[in-house]
Amino acid sequence: MNRDAAATDDTTIDVDDCWNRIGTLGDRSCERLADCLRCLNCPVYAYHAAKLLERPLGRAEMAEAAQRMRASDVAHAPRDAALAFRVADEWLALPIRVLREIAGTRPIHSLPHRRHPAVRGVVNVRGTLRIAISIGALLGLDAGGAERSRGEGRTDGRTDGRFTRLLVAAHHGEPVVFPVDEVEGVLRFGASDWVPVPATVGRASAGLSRGVLSWRGKSVGLLDDDRLFDAVTRSMR
């Protein structure tokens, strides 16, 4: 009798693959075919199929199944989204959950007696005056670099409008406006896609960032919305 042994680490199950020898996949000489017509209808086939399905898994099979499950977990892992933008020479990303609107550039009116350099003034967004906050000032970016980039360094709105934008964002409070030099797009990432900011790297965004993402050939600082808006609140006191 031709046997096809399905082996595991702990036991060996012998299965007579009669369907391959004398059944519909073989020479069709099995006398049961007259009644069953095909092996799928035969109780012998069903018996051996049940033995195969009920057999214990071997270590190799369990390792393969675990690998498939891990791959499935990675594929279906929750992914966050953030908006990538530039301030001076620094690429940053703001979580989408706090973003309310991306507006075109417009005049920012300075406030008298402002105490913190991050408070740029007020800007009219859809008929409502919003406080404009300089992310560059919060991060301590070079003011000259911001001036040269013609976005954050301008308060009169006289730019060509090709790249500069106003990000309207809110986090447990009234929206504020962040002028930025350029908006790149929305990036999506999982927990394994970003790394903490190394202590040896002197990124300007390190104090307000969760970590760093590599995206489209750029090193992007992923802003922590809690830290960012805490800094915004302190700047307005």
Q: What average pLDDT values come out for the chain (237 residues) when binned by 10 residues?
A: 44 77 91 89 87 76 75 63 92 94 93 87 95 92 46 45 86 94 91 70 69 87 93 91
Same domain, 21 and 50: yes
Contact 129, 166 (CB under 8 A): no
pLDDT of 60: 81
pLDDT of 93: 94
Domain of residue 88, residue span: 80-235
Domain final residue pick, 45, 75, 105:
75
Domain final residue pick, 29, 48, 75:
75
d(CA 132, CA 119): 6
**17 CB burial (10 A radius; 0-12, 13-18, 19+):** middle
Look up tokens 């700047």; give the residue: 235
- Its pTM stands at 0.61
pLDDT of 183: 94
CATH number of the domain that 149 lies in? 2.40.50.180
Same domain, 202 and 114: yes
Q: Residue 10 CB: number of other CB atoms within 10 A?
A: 10
- The encoded tokens of residue 51 equal 């033995």
pLDDT of 55: 75
Task: Give the count of domains, the chain.
Answer: 2
d(CA 189, CA 145): 29
Domain final residue pick, 75, 97, 125:
75
Same domain, 118 and 69: no
pLDDT of 6: 41
